[in-house]
Amino acid sequence: KGLTNNLIEEMRRNLKKHGMIKVRILKSYRESMNRSRQELAQMIANLLDAELKEVRGYTFTLKRGS
């Protein structure tokens, strides 16, 4: 399925509630998008108006934007 509107909204709610969230992407999703982990993490951060704090493997941390 990939990145759906429902998933984006759920991440937005959690980011608003907790201020910081961890997101894990599947290797198969990264390969299907033909982008690096860093590029995907930044793309998702931009969608959520969040700050990308760290990328480790297939997990990255987002902080609520100011």
Structure tokens at 60: 């990255």
Q: What is the band of 2 on the pLDDT scale with cuts at 50, 70, 90?
A: confident
Confidence (pTM): 0.89
pLDDT score at 31: 87
Q: Please give the share of the chain, as a percent, with pLDDT higher than 70.
A: 97
Structural domains in the chain, CATH included, are 5-64 (3.30.110.60)
Structure tokens at 59: 């997990």
Quick: pLDDT tens for 8-37.
999 999 999 999 999 999 989 888 889 999
User: What is the arithmetic mean of pLDDT over 40-57?
Assistant: 96
User: What is the arithmetic mean of pLDDT over 33-57?
Assistant: 95
**Residue from 17, 59, 27 nearest 9 by CA:** 17
How does 20-37 read in b/e, with b if 16+ C-beta sit within 10 Å? Answer: ebebebeeeebeeeeeeb
